[in-house]
Amino acid sequence: MSKSSRAPSEVGPAAGSVRLSGEKLVVALVALAAALGLFAVWFQWGQTRRCLALLGPEAARRIQTARRVELWPLTTEGGRIVATERLDVSAAPGLVHLRRGLVEDDNYRWNGQTTSGRLGPLPAAAWDVAIAFADDDSAPATILAFDLAENGAMTQVGRPGRVMLGRIGPGLRRWLAAAVPGFSPEKSAF
């Protein structure tokens, strides 16, 4: 039998091995993608596990995705904390970065802090500002209150515990100064 009279099924092992190598490549790429996806989930969990314990998963999701974000300057009246106004900062420059930073563990000082609130409550006058994250008017907002002092703190209103501001403190004060007319980081007031 001559070369030209061979049937297509008799082409030889080289053509079949190319197809087999392509299948192996596709399987290897899918396995690599799955492994990288699992690594990304694990890495993300590692960066946010303490914040998730303090805030809860639903609050952390709302902080990152809420359509309406308001800034509430706080004061005390008769021993109660009250918001003096509600400023819509949903479109403020840098809000995307602030949202992400609020749920990353490395931005806070966790030493001595757990969700049980071992640090004890701060006096009402210590809280300077709150940021409210709301999906819509029918669902409750997630409200974070901040003490903007040098060694300030953050808490979620309605949940126990607080955490000391770490490197997010200076960034939060800069964001407030840029996003809110009249805010003074030196005074931590409006």
Residue 23 lies in a domain: no
Cβ-contact 160, 116 below 8 angstroms: yes
Domain contains 38: no
> pLDDT-based confidence at 12, cuts 50/70/90?
low
Asked, for residue 130, whether it belongs to a domain, the answer is yes
| Residue 53 falls inside a structural domain | yes
Separation of alpha carbons 62 and 67, rounded Å = 9
Cα separation, 7 vs 54, in Å, equals: 71
**Is the predicted pLDDT of residue 9 greater than 70, yes or no?**
no
Is the residue at 51 inside a domain? yes
End-to-end CA distance of the chain: 95
The total domain count for the chain is 1
Instruction: List, for residues 129-147, the tens digit of each pLDDT value.
Output: 999 999 987 788 999 999 9
Reference 62, options 105, 99, 107; nearest CA is: 99
Q: Whole-angstrom Cα distance, residue 124 to residue 77?
A: 9
Instruction: Report residue 44: phi and psi, to 5°.
Output: -65, -45
19 inside domain: no
pLDDT per residue over 67-77, tens digit each?
999 999 998 88
Which neighbouring-strand residues pair with 80?
77
Q: Is residue 57 scored above 70 in pLDDT?
A: yes
Structural domain including 87 reads 45-179
The per-residue pLDDT of the chain, averaged, comes to 80
Considering all CA atoms of the chain, what is the largest pairwise distance in Å, rounded to the nearest integer?
Answer: 105
Name the pTM for this structure.
0.71
Confidence of residue 115 (pLDDT cuts 50, 70, 90): very low
In this structure, is residue 31 part of a structural domain?
A: no
Residue 143 lies in a domain: yes
Percent of the chain with pLDDT over 70: 74
**E strands, 78-136, where?**
80-83, 87-88, 108-109, 129-134
Eight-class DSSP state of 113: -
- Across 46-86, the runs of DSSP E, i.e. the strands, are 68-77, 80-83
